[in-house]
Structure 1
Amino acid sequence: MTLSELFAPTDPAFSEAMSTLLEIFHHSDDSQAPYQHQLFAQRLNQSHLPPVGLTLENYLARLATVIPGSSHLASPCYMGHMTAPLPAFTAELSRLVVMLNQNPMKMESSRLLSFLEREVLAKLHRLIYRADDLFYDQQMHAKDAALGVMTSGGTIANVTALWLARNRTCGDNLFALYEQGYRGAVILGSRLMHYSFDKGMDLLGLGAHNVWRLATDEQNRLCLTALEQALLRCKEEKIRVLALVGVAGSTDFGSIDPLPTLAAIAKREQIHFHVDAAWGGPTLFSPRYQSLLEGIELADTVTLDGHKQLLVPLGTGMLLCRQPDLMMAVKREAPYAIRATSFDQGRFTLEGTRPANALYLDAAFQLFGLQGYAELIEANYDRARLMAALIRDDPAFELMSEPVMNLLSYRCIPPHLRGKPLDEAANEQLNAFNVALQKAQRAEGHSFVSRTQRTVLRYGDQPLTLLRAVLLNPHIREQHIQQVLADQQRLGSQIASQLFGGSNGDG
């Protein structure tokens, strides 16, 4: 196609073809194009650009061969990852976001949308910190203040929180720590901290080895005894603690650290307290479950991630700050764009250019409302409890943690190990069995859960392979949960025979 044709209004037939492609995709599952690494690589192996542009018809034909091989996240039997199916209005709104092509980094390149972004952040700030009307009237659109920043996801939000914590402690000069008599700096949190904190410490020049991952208790929460021991060690060895991280919804178990106690310890030790609520933050919408996050309002900073339980597209992360002047610790300027006297949010963000994804959040807030989000959260958390009950009552499975939110970790048990004590050797068999089972279910494509590897207190320090279900899709019903488990039992019988032979491992 010519440049003039590409910039002309889109042919309605093209839009209709795209809608048809999406409709077909959303009514199928991964079995339409089962995952085969070698086959996928062979189908997409051209490294040369076409010499001339394709016609729209030819490009649609290409899309029709590619899209079926994408992950069917909207399928109610896809329970593997923390990416939500999107409400229908998102499709049309995305056209607006993309074609407006606003850059909220600078007011001149987004104008009113810069103010919309601040309004959206104020709504989230109120959800977490619950300040009064006067506070938001004064701070929402204040010049040298920010209730938070938009980021491209939870990882950048967590990295930004570490950036803030470091600059609050010693500015951007790490040598200031040594001048203060410290031999180094660390952050403290549980072993279930997200791996973005390792990235952040690397980027700050402090190294991932200075992320101290501490033991957890039987409820997969940061062990307070281990924390106090780590703090004592830091004092004895003259190591500065830059931040204490509390997890509000771990990626493996959905567990929540004891936030009120962590906040009190951080205040006592004068440490920046950050809560990673990328997964669990929207729990605050639910009157029934919001008490799970008691203490989050005491955090200096909080990470949220919109593509998870807020049901907006990927690339929509947020970092909220209890004090509106905190972001001044990382303020940066540029003479051609982000000037010292400007109103621009780009003064405070790690990313210089980003899309106006606050529009997605604004639409979701206006169309769901408090009641809609409360219903969504409570229904998903109830589904997790239903699935846990089905697992608990079936000897073919072992529930590895009681549901806190809407994540479940469990194992499938092969016939020869059901009802028997599970020692280290048996757990090794279970690890191999559950890895093979998860791969087989993924390859078949009718249903899906992910897997992880963690220690569980009742089995000591032995790493265990766990199946991991994410109950996020509002279309999930009991029959879909039963199908996932039935598929695992059916495939598990076949795999047990292959792995353990005719004796099923007894001999």
Structure 2
Amino acid sequence: MNLTELFAKPDPAFAAAVTRLLERFHRTDDSEAPYRRDRFCQQLDDPCMPENGMDPQAYLTRLEQLIPGVSHLASRHYMGHMTAPLPAFTGELARLLVMLNQNPMKMESSRLLSFLEREVLAKLHRLVYQAPDDFYQSQMHAKDAALGVMTSGGTIANVTALWLARNHAVGDNLFHLVEQGYRGAVILGSRLMHYSFDKGMDLLGLGAASVRRLETDADNRLSLPALEAAIAECRAQRIKVIAIIGVAGSTDFGSVDPLPELAAIARREGIHFHVDAAWGGPTLFSPRYQPLLAGIAQADTVTLDGHKQLLIPLGTGMLLCKRPDLVMAVKREAPYAIRASSFDQGRFTLEGTRPANALYLDAAFQLLGEAGYRTLIEANYDKARRMAALIDADPAFELMSAPVMNLLSYRCLPPHLQGQPLDEAANVQINAFNVALQKAQRAEGHSFVSRTQRTLPPYGDQPLVLLRAVLLNPAIEESDIQALLADQIRLGRTIAAELFAGH
């Protein structure tokens, strides 16, 4: 095939072969090509590009060798990650979006899709802030304003929020801190804040010490006394607090900080209030669970992440701004692209060129609707509660946090410690057991949960290894949960015999 043919109309045979690859992939699991780092390294160890391009059929052969080794994240037996299975329409929509290759940084390179981006951001803004209709009519397509910005994910959305907060608090020059009599600047949030905030403060030139992670209460929520003490300490030390961070759906527990109280403190102190709702934001679709996010509408900025509970592909994040003029604090221009007089969203985004992923959101909103999201959210949250009940009723497990949303943490106990008092020495054994168990389950490839390490009130300051389940896939049934737990009990017997011989 010559180069010109590669840019011609799609090859139906190639498309059909890719479809067959996908269909076969979704009928298998990771056990077809178990994770072996040395073997994967050997399979992909060629640093040289081919001199001449290969025939598409030959490349299909290469794909057939690669695809079995990728993660089966859409499997209903994989309950460990926050990456959503995608609705079936996404594949064809992705083909359309990729081949259109629009760049919404600038209106000239995306035209109508620039306006679509503003419309979907307005829908999300309305979900969170519930402003009146005339607000959206006047602000949705306002020139020097934005209801939010699209990003490549929750991390960039959080970094953008810090950028906005810093510029509003002290301007875009850190020397202004000194001029205002401050010795430094920090953000305050719980120990469960996402690590993207560390990245953001580093990029803003404020360093790792500027992220102050405070204690949480028994429900894994930011401690209000700890926050008040930190604010008082910062005031005494002449440290500027540029933002208070509230978490709406922590990655470990799905816990939600006390948002109304945090908003009140931020308002009293004149501090930017940001809520990281990358995971929990879509809870607002459910009248039954919506009270979990009470107070979120008082946030100055809110992060959402599309590839999680909004069920769209990776690479789509959103930062919403309560006040549309907030984005003017980071406005940037370029004479060849985003000029001062332009309508371009790229004036307000950290990233320049990016895909028009707002089309995925538009499709999901139009095809699922609020009722569809409501049904999916409530079903998944209910499944998490059923899984928690199964764990709590089985002596082979210890439930470590009651599910708030559709995340839960638990431990598998080795047989000799089941039903026994658990002290520090026992926890050391349980930690080793759960690390080995999670690795064994991942290596076997039939089912999967992830793991984390946290301290929890019943056990003081001792770090505990926790298994972490994510109930996101709408295809998961109770029988799948039972099968996953049965896999852990089965594997656990073998591991315990190896680790604790003689107990």
User: Which band: TM-score by shorter chain?
Assistant: over 0.9
SS in 2 for 1:288: coil
- What displacement does 1:9 show? 1.1
Q: Does 1:339 align with 2:342?
A: no
TM-score by length of 2: 1.00
Partner of 1:439: 439
Determine what percentage of the aligned residue pairs are the same residue: 77
Residues 1-50 of structure 1: CA deviation (Å, up to 9, x unaligned): 32111111122111110000000111111111100000000001010011
Alignment of 1:41-56 (within 5 A): 41-56=41-56
Residues 388-446 of structure 1: CA deviation (Å, up to 9, x unaligned): 00000000000000000000100000000011111111000000000000000000000
Alignment of 1:99-498 (within 5 A): 99-498=99-498
Alpha-carbon distance between aligned partners in 2 of 1:12 and 1:154, rounded to the nearest angstrom:
36
Letter in structure 1 aligned against 2:98: V
SS in 1 for 2:401: coil
Alpha-carbon distance between aligned partners in 2 of 1:45 and 1:408, rounded to the nearest angstrom:
39
Alpha-carbon distance between aligned partners in 1 of 2:258 and 2:177, rounded to the nearest angstrom:
29
Alpha-carbon distance between aligned partners in 2 of 1:423 and 1:31, rounded to the nearest angstrom:
36
SS in 2 for 1:325: helix
After superposition, the CA RMSD in angstroms is: 0.5
TM-score by length of 1: 0.99
Alpha-carbon distance between aligned partners in 1 of 2:171 and 2:338, rounded to the nearest angstrom:
20
Alpha-carbon distance between aligned partners in 2 of 1:425 and 1:210, rounded to the nearest angstrom:
35
Alpha-carbon distance between aligned partners in 2 of 1:409 and 1:204, rounded to the nearest angstrom:
34
Alignment of 1:88-107 (within 5 A): 88-107=88-107
Residues 157-195 of structure 1: CA deviation (Å, up to 9, x unaligned): 000000000000111111111111111000000000000
Residues 263-296 of structure 1: CA deviation (Å, up to 9, x unaligned): 0000001000000000000000011101100000
SS in 1 for 2:164: helix
Q: Does 1:39 align with 2:39?
A: yes
SS in 1 for 2:200: helix
Q: Does 1:13 align with 2:13?
A: yes
Residues 190-227 of structure 1: CA deviation (Å, up to 9, x unaligned): 00000000000000000022100000011000011111
Partner of 2:64: 64
* Structure 2, gaps ≥5 residues long: none
- What displacement does 1:337 show? 0.5
Alpha-carbon distance between aligned partners in 2 of 1:350 and 1:187, rounded to the nearest angstrom:
20
* Structure 1, gaps ≥5 residues long: none
Alpha-carbon distance between aligned partners in 1 of 2:170 and 2:210, rounded to the nearest angstrom:
16
Alpha-carbon distance between aligned partners in 2 of 1:267 and 1:52, rounded to the nearest angstrom:
63
Alpha-carbon distance between aligned partners in 1 of 2:464 and 2:210, rounded to the nearest angstrom:
25
Alpha-carbon distance between aligned partners in 1 of 2:330 and 2:257, rounded to the nearest angstrom:
28
Alpha-carbon distance between aligned partners in 2 of 1:40 and 1:420, rounded to the nearest angstrom:
42
Letter in structure 1 aligned against 2:134: L
SS in 2 for 1:479: helix
Residues 364-407 of structure 1: CA deviation (Å, up to 9, x unaligned): 00000000000000000000000000000000000000000000
Letter in structure 1 aligned against 2:421: P
